[in-house]
Amino acid sequence: MKIGPNSPCWCKSKKKYKVCHMQFDERLKGFSKNPKIELPPREIIKNDKQIAGIKKAAKVNNLVLDEVSKMVKEGITTAEIDLLVYKLITDNGGIPATLGYYGYPKSVCTSVNEQVCHGIPDDKTVLKSGDIINVDVTTILDGFYADASRMFMIGDVAEETRKLVEVTKEAREVGFKAIKPWETCVGDIGYAISEYVKPFGYSIIRDIGGHGVGIDFHEDPYVCHIGQPMTGMLLVPGMVFTIEPMINMGKEDFYEDESNGWTIYTEDKKPSAQWEYTVLVTEEGAEIIAY
pLDDT in tens, 154-193: 999 999 999 999 999 999 999 999 999 999 999 999 999 9
- The dihedral region occupied by 190, where left means phi > 0, alpha psi between -120 and 50, and beta the remainder, is alpha
Amino acid in the structure at residue 210:
G
* Residue 212, pLDDT score: 98
Other CB atoms within 10 A of residue 159 CB: 7
Q: Domain map of the chain by residue range?
A: 38-290
CATH superfamily of domain region 38-290 = Creatinase/methionine aminopeptidase superfamily (3.90.230.10)
State yes or no: cis peptide before 245, omega within 30 of 0. Answer: no
pLDDT in tens, 218-274: 999 999 999 999 999 999 999 999 999 999 999 999 999 999 999 999 999 999 999
Q: Are 233 and 185 in contact (CB under 8 A)?
A: yes
Question: Would you say residue 137 has pLDDT above 70?
Answer: yes
Please give the helix or strand (H or E) that residue 148 lies within, else none.
strand 144-153
pTM beyond 0.75: yes
* Residue 1, pLDDT score: 64
Q: For 14-158, where are the alpha helices, taking DSSP H only? A: 22-29, 48-71, 78-91
Q: State the average pLDDT over residues 260-289.
A: 98
Determine what percent of the chain is predicted with pLDDT higher than 70.
Answer: 100
Q: For 72-151, where are the alpha helices, taking DSSP H only? A: 78-91
98 confidence band (pLDDT: 50, 70, 90):
very high
* Residue in 132, 212, 142 with CA at minimum distance from that of residue 167: 132
